[in-house]
Structure formats: structure tokens, C-alpha cells
Amino acid sequence: MAQGEFFETMGSPPLTALTLQAPAKINLFLAVTGRRDDGYHDLLSVAAPLVWGDSLEAEEAGEGFALSCDDPEVPLGPENLVLRAAEAFKAASNWGGGARFSLRKKIPMGAGLGGASSDAASALLLLNQIAGSPFDAAGLQAIAAGVGSDCSLFLSGAPVVMRGRGERVERVSREAYARLRGIRVLLFKPGFAVPTPWAYARLAAEAPRGYVAPNRAEAMLEAWLGKTGAGAEELLFNSMERPVFAKFPALPALLQLLYERFGIAGRMSGSGSTCFALLGETTALGPIEATIRDAWGPSALVVDTRVA
Ligand code: C5P
């Protein structure tokens, strides 16, 4: 798919001058199916971008790359995925330019919301625009796959099925997208983060207990995709909950409380620490937010948002 087509299918184009939204994602479904020889894990996941997230601005400048950010906690060195994506873009193209990036951060780090990967995907899209579109969608996907496992999913701007270590993505069917698009999502994150490598290592330490057999995972997803009209809540599953909840009981304790008080079935996103719940249109936020803040304290992040 050409990039122009990609933006057309997204509804309102996210590009305003050279600023691009870098949305957060949630994993509605995440089945880890086993460990690979390269140390990564194979997975089957459905991830959906949200209408809430960071934003990244790029301005063509010089021959190298520079990054500034409104959050002093964000590392600005070459380890930042925006700069790694920019270097990977330059290495893969014969474009000789450079750019100054300015990042406005809302997505916390270690949240399971894909913040750094989304920033990197937006950097690739911006640079492709600045450089005169040397890459089509497949070319950008190839670069994104080398930047991080979660980077590719953000290039499509819509819910995707992820396979491999996460870099093989395809959009969900039009019918499944219609079931997911615009649904209300409440994000709630405690004051602590969960490092993704730690969470995968903990899962691996229990192997094969926490893995879902690949054919079982595909069958679970097929059952949902094939059930016309099945709501998003029927899809929810996350293999990472077991190892992460064992270490951080504050997460399942609150999910249990929300279920008892409000009948809400909350889940964790990715490797955490963010949890989410799918809310009805008329559900009042006040009592739910009060319960979250009571359990997790004032440092909890609570965001009432939607699937993009
Ligand atoms: O690819 P990325 O750098 O985002 O992954 C961060 C870490 O998460 C990896 O180093 C690995 O420990 C773990 N991971 C994994 N399997 C995946 C994705 C990530 O084991 N599919």
C-alpha cells in the first residue's frame, strides 16, 4: 500500500505540517507462544492504536539528527528510538539530509503502551515525508522491524494482528475493525513501570507453563475473528499477566475490585504496568477513577480515551 493510500484510509490525515501524532497502543489479545533461538519470543497479538498519545515534530536541518523533549526523564542520546529510527532510515536510503525532532510526551515509559516504538514509527513517517517519500509502506515496515518489535504496528494507524516477535503485522479485517474502532478505553497505570525485558525473562523462567501453543493461540483469535459481531471484550487475553501479577499484586488486586464494584473486566496491556478496561458510552468515570486513585494513590495515571 502506498503511503498516500495509508493516510486516506485513516480518515482524517494525522499529518499537520510536520507534526505527527504518535499514538499509544493497547494489546487486546497477546498470546506468547514460545521462546526463539534469538532470545526473543514469538507471539500472536491484536494491538489497537488509541486516539491519545505523544506528538512528534520534525524540521529538516543539516545532515545529522537532534532531539528535544518536554519530559526531562526521557533519554535524548542515541539510545532513544526516535534517533535510532532516524539513523536506520538514513542508512537504508540515499537521502543526505538531517532533522531536528521535538517530542511532546504523554505516554509513560515502561507502561506497555508502546510509547517509544510509536515515537520511532512517527519519526520514520516524518522523515519519509521530508525526504520525498523514498519508501513505500513495505519499505518503512522493513526499517521499523529493525528498530523494535513494537515499531511496525504503529505504521498502519489501525488495529493489527502481530506475529513473529511482533514485527509481522497485518490489518484486521474491515469487519473486525468496525467492531473495534472508536470503542471507549480507560487506561490506568500505577506509579511504577514494568521493564519489558524483565517481564519476558520472568515468563521464560516459568517455561513452558506460561506459553500458549501456537495452534491454540491461532484458534483463539480465529474464533473471535470468525464470530461476526463479537465484541472486543470477548477477545481480551494476555499471557504476560501471570508473571507480572505475581510480582506486582497491586495490579490484580485493583482489577478484582473494579470487577466486584462495577462489573468491569480489566486487563493489562503488553508487559504492563498499564491496565485498561473497555467502558460503555454512558459509564460514569467518577466512581471508577476514585476507586483507582484510592488503590494506587495520586501518582496513578488515568486516561479516558478510544481506539483510533
Ligand atoms: O524489540 P524490543 O527491543 O522492543 O524488545 C525489548 C525486549 O523485550 C527484548 O530485548 C526481549 O527481552 C523482550 N521481547 C521478547 N520477545 C518479543 C518482544 C520483546 O522477548 N517478541
Domain(s) labelled CATH 3.30.70.890 in the chain stretch across: 175-306
CATH code for the domain defined by 4-173 = 3.30.230.10
Which residues, in sequence order, are bridge partners of residue 267? 276
* CB distance 32 to ligand 1 below 6 Å: no
Which atom of ligand 1 sits closest to the CA of residue 196? 8
Candidate of 196, 202, 206, 212 to mutate for ligand 1, largest count of ligand atoms within 8 Å of Cβ = 196
Question: Quick one: pLDDT band at residue 9, thresholds 50, 70, 90?
Answer: very low
Candidate of 30, 36, 40, 41 to mutate for ligand 1, largest count of ligand atoms within 8 Å of Cβ = 40
Question: Quick one: pLDDT band at residue 3, thresholds 50, 70, 90?
Answer: very low
Cis before residue 102, ω within 30 degrees of 0? Answer: no
Which atom of ligand 1 sits closest to the CA of residue 201? 12
- What does the block give as the cell for 166? 511482533
**37-67 tens-digit pLDDT:** 999 999 999 999 999 999 999 999 989 999 9
Domain(s) labelled CATH 3.30.230.10 in the chain stretch across: 4-173
Strands (E) located in 36-137: 41-60, 65-69, 99-104
Please report the pLDDT score of residue 10 as a whole number: 43
d(CA 249, ligand 1 centre) in Å: 23
Please report the pLDDT score of residue 5 as a whole number: 42
List of residues 6+ apart from 130 with CB closer than 8 A: 18, 58, 60, 97, 99
Nearest to 119, CA basis, from 234, 29, 20: 20
Question: Quick one: pLDDT band at residue 161, thresholds 50, 70, 90?
Answer: very high
Please report the pLDDT score of residue 262 as a whole number: 98
Q: How far apart are CA 181 and CA 252, in angstroms?
A: 27
* CB distance 166 to ligand 1 below 6 Å: yes
Has domain 175-306 been given CATH number 3.40.630.30? Answer: no
Question: Is the model's pTM score more than 0.85?
Answer: yes
- Average pLDDT, whole number, for the chain? 94
The answer to whether 294 is a known catalytic residue is: no
Give the residue-averaged pLDDT of 221-232.
Answer: 95
DSSP H/E element including 34: strand 19-35
Question: Quick one: pLDDT band at residue 85, thresholds 50, 70, 90?
Answer: very high
Which atom of ligand 1 sits closest to the CA of residue 151? 4
